[in-house]
Amino acid sequence: MVDCLRYGTCARVMTRIVLLFFSFCSVLSFPCFRAAAEAQGWPRVETASLGDPVIPASPLDPVYRLPLRIHLGGSGRSPADFKVMLEEINDIWLSQAGICFEMQIVLDDDPLRQGMDIWFLPDLSGDSGLNGIYRDEHHIQVRDTPVLGPAPHPAHYPAARTAAHECGHGLSLRHRQDSDDNLMRSKTYGWQLNAREVIVARKAAVGKALQDTTPRNCGEPTISIHSGSSTN
Ligand SMILES: [Zn+2]
């Protein structure tokens, strides 16, 4: 059950859940939910302006697909922001390392048993200047709008870059501060991995990936509005 004490009153939380649910369904083009949302008078989110998903080709085989649960119950950002942002996380990883994330969007705090978990939050606990916190692969926090320094070849979305960086920690990568273009550089828009990092990350991914390595990419995020026990 959503923790009402943590996020405010139960009424506020339930209103947020309904809004988020319908908005996400509309953004992600689920026709039945979109129709239901429009019937309820919810504003329609046009998908055309967001562009078609770009599926980068992986240079490596096999592609490792890792479950990634995205916890948005405490986020202050709009659902439309997350579609393109989540796509960029997979763009960064698939195009360079042959790794992508099968994402599940939830509003609760139940972690996965396999893969990784990220919570998006307006501010991270204890320090308003922090962009991301990595404790382990099931305790990752990312600020809704990280503040990042420039890079010669920058990522588009700061939250995508920071989330992809934290996933790098989850794949056994450490910081590498010799270029602002590095994904593992602290607090920049860099997104690039070197050959050694690709080898290390792919080795770590083997133990976390789904068994079926036939698919060459990951699907669009699924939405799971559940409470109580984990469904992984
Ligand atoms: Zn880091």
Reported as a single tens digit per residue, the pLDDT across 106-137 is 999 999 999 999 999 999 976 778 999 999 99
| CA–centroid distance, residue 148 to ligand 1 (Å) | 12
The CA 107 to ligand 1 mean position distance, Å, reads 25
| d(CA 166, ligand 1 centre) in Å | 6
pTM: 0.77
CA of 132 from ligand 1 middle (Å) equals 7
Cα–ligand 1 centroid distance for 30 (angstroms): 35
Distance, CA of 85 to chain centre: 7
CA of 187 to the centre of ligand 1 (A): 8
- Residue-wise pLDDT for 128-179, tens only, equals 789 999 999 999 999 999 999 999 999 999 999 999 999 999 999 999 999 9
Q: Ligand 1 centroid to 68 CA: how many Å?
A: 18
C-alpha 159 to ligand 1 mean position (Å): 13
**Level-2 CATH architecture, domain 57-223:** 3-Layer(aba) Sandwich (3.40)
Instruction: For the chain, give every domain's residue range.
Output: 1-43, 57-223
Tell me what pLDDT residue 14 has: 52
